[in-house]
């Protein structure tokens, strides 16, 4: 007999609601990338320089980091049927502000606010694990992570296509409308219960650095995750630049096609979650990192051979996406009373690593070449392997803190 959904049951988030979270996370995440293909058009329309418009287009990423730190912890203390719709409505409002912007300054301010609110995607991944049965944590998290990945990969395509059809302002209005639709559905579908948080929102923020000492597993997971996201960003920025330079000299369209290899990683995330549920997070992380290291070295040696490079990049993404799902599953199981706060700390450190990798990719390739950049990425992932292999606690049990949190 199929068990009916009970919104008061914290371990009864059914498949349909998990799929809703994946779709809503994809929509929310895509909003940070939809304006990137049409920057020249937006600059001309706003009578602004391309440099200023590009800076404005980078505001969502800054906002997203702020949202990870400030808003994701709210999942621990706010009912999901209130929090997620409210943040989606705020996201739609911020997009509308950018759509109506008379200047690049207002355009950028709207995008900064939209980036803050787009962190609801990370809230949804926390909810997927928090409100699913323990034996389904990885599967649920992997499904929502696939949605987030789809939003990143498809956001640019969606933005470019809609802009060609209706213009960039109308495109933002349509995306805002999609956020409102997701908010309306979420109000009806999402859980109405919330477990009592061990501290207030403000005291939780203040105590975040201390939690890295309280939960050694969090420090290990965050450090390892930052290392491999550094490698991930370094590889993708580096390979894009290397392919555009002599002797390859590929046009931007051809370089962009290589990013389709990332679809393999997106497809792997639900399966990685299932494997983590069955065999434990640590095993999936170790195998995923080992695969990514091997594929990075293959891409370093075979950049001139397109089939080899595409296959290596696809499996590289499979390895790191799988490691990310399993690692985040471990973080979310460390303390059932504060999963969102721990996930917030983890994601902030994780994105710092990715930002450093993206910043380093261009200079390393320009100064030393693609093989050195790939070798640097492989070294970072190898360090993550050592860190995770030597220090990671058991992957399946809920991790006990090393001392009382001392809130």
Q: What is the mean pLDDT of residues 103-126?
A: 95
Write down the pLDDT at residue 29. Answer: 94
Q: What is the mean pLDDT of residues 346-353?
A: 91
Contact 329, 269 (CB under 8 A): no
* Dist CA 211 CA 69 (whole Å): 14
**How does residue 46 score in pLDDT terms, banded at 50, 70 and 90?**
very high
Write down the pLDDT at residue 359. Answer: 83
Helix 306-332 crosses helix 281-301 at what angle (to 10 degrees)? Answer: 160
Share of the chain above pLDDT 70, in %: 89
Write down the pLDDT at residue 78. Answer: 87
Q: What are the extents of the domains in the chain?
A: 15-189, 204-391
Write down the pLDDT at residue 297. Answer: 96
DSSP letters, 267-329, are HHHHHHHHHHHHH-HHHHHHHHHHHHHHHHHHHHH-TT-HHHHHHHHHHHHHHHHHHHHHHHH
**How does residue 15 score in pLDDT terms, banded at 50, 70 and 90?**
confident
pLDDT digits (tens, 9 = 90+) for 293-327: 999 999 998 888 889 999 999 999 999 999 999 99
**How does residue 37 score in pLDDT terms, banded at 50, 70 and 90?**
confident
Write down the pLDDT at residue 118. Answer: 96
For 135, residues 6+ apart whose C-beta sits below 8 A from its C-beta are 277
Cβ-in-10-Å burial (0-12, 13-18, 19+) of 165 comes to: exposed
Q: What is the mean pLDDT of residues 188-200?
A: 74
The answer to whether domain 15-189 has CATH 3.20.20.140 is no
Return the beta strands (E) in 149-247 as ranges.
none
For 103, residues 6+ apart whose C-beta sits below 8 A from its C-beta are 46, 48
Contact 258, 237 (CB under 8 A): no
Share of the chain above pLDDT 90, in %: 48
Contact 182, 88 (CB under 8 A): yes
pLDDT digits (tens, 9 = 90+) for 16-36: 999 999 999 999 999 998 887
Contact 56, 111 (CB under 8 A): yes
Q: Where are the alpha helices (DSSP H) in 333-369?
A: 339-368
Write down the pLDDT at residue 302. Answer: 85
Contact 150, 262 (CB under 8 A): no
Q: What is the mean pLDDT of the chain?
A: 86
Write down the pLDDT at residue 157. Answer: 81
pLDDT digits (tens, 9 = 90+) for 226-268: 999 999 989 988 888 888 888 888 776 677 677 778 788 888 8
Say which residue, 8 or 405, is predicted with more confidence: 8
CATH fold match for the domains 15-189 and 204-391: yes
Assess whether pLDDT exceeds 50 at residue 7: no
* Dist CA 143 CA 128 (whole Å): 9
**How does residue 404 score in pLDDT terms, banded at 50, 70 and 90?**
very low
Assess whether pLDDT exceeds 80 at residue 205: no
Assess whether pLDDT exceeds 50 at residue 398: no
- pTM score, whole prediction: 0.81
**What is the dotted CATH code of the domain comprising 204-391?**
1.20.1250.20
């Amino acid at each position: 007999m199929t068990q009916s959904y009970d919104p008061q049951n914290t371990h009864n988030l059914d498949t349909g609601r998990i799929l809703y979270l994946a779709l809503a996370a994809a929509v929310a995440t895509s909003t940070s990338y939809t304006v990137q293909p049409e920057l020249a058009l937006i600059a001309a329309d706003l009578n602004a320089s391309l440099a200023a418009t590009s800076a404005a287009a980078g505001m969502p990423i800054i906002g997203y980091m702020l949202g990870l730190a400030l808003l994701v912890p709210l999942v621990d203390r706010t009912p999901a049927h209130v929090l997620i719709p409210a943040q989606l409505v705020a996201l739609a409002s911020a997009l509308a502000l950018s759509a109506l912007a008379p200047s690049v300054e207002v355009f950028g301010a709207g995008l900064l606010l939209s980036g803050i609110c787009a962190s609801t995607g990370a809230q949804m991944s926390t909810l997927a694990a928090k409100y699913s049965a323990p034996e389904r944590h990885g599967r649920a998290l992997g499904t929502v992570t696939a949605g987030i990945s789809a939003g990143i990969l498809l956001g640019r395509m969606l933005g470019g296509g809609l802009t060609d059809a209706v213009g960039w302002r109308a495109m933002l209005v349509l995306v805002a409308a999609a956020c409102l639709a997701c908010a309306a559905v979420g109000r009806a579908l999402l859980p109405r219960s919330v477990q009592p948080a061990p501290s207030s929102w403000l005291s939780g923020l203040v105590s975040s650095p201390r939690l890295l000492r309280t939960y050694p597993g969090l420090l290990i997971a965050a450090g390892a995750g930052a290392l491999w996201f550094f490698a991930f960003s370094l590889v993708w920025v580096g390979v894009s630049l290397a392919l555009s330079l002599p002797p390859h000299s590929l046009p931007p369209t051809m370089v962009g096609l290589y990013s389709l290899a990332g679809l393999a990683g997106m497809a792997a995330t639900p399966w990685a979650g299932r494997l983590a549920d069955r065999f434990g997070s640590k095993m999936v992380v170790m195998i995923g990192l080992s695969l990514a290291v091997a594929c990075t070295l293959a891409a370093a040696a075979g950049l001139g051979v397109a089939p080899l490079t595409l296959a290596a990049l696809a499996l590289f993404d499979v390895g790191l996406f799988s490691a990310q799902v399993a690692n985040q599953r471990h973080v979310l199981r460390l303390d059932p009373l504060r999963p969102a706060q721990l996930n917030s700390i983890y994601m902030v450190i994780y994105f710092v690593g990715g930002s450093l990798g993206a910043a380093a990719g261009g200079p390393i390739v320009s100064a030393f070449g693609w093989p050195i950049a790939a070798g640097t990425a492989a070294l970072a992932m190898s360090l993550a392997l050592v860190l995770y292999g030597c220090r990671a606690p058991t992957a399946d049990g809920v991790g006990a803190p090393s001392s009382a949190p001392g809130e």
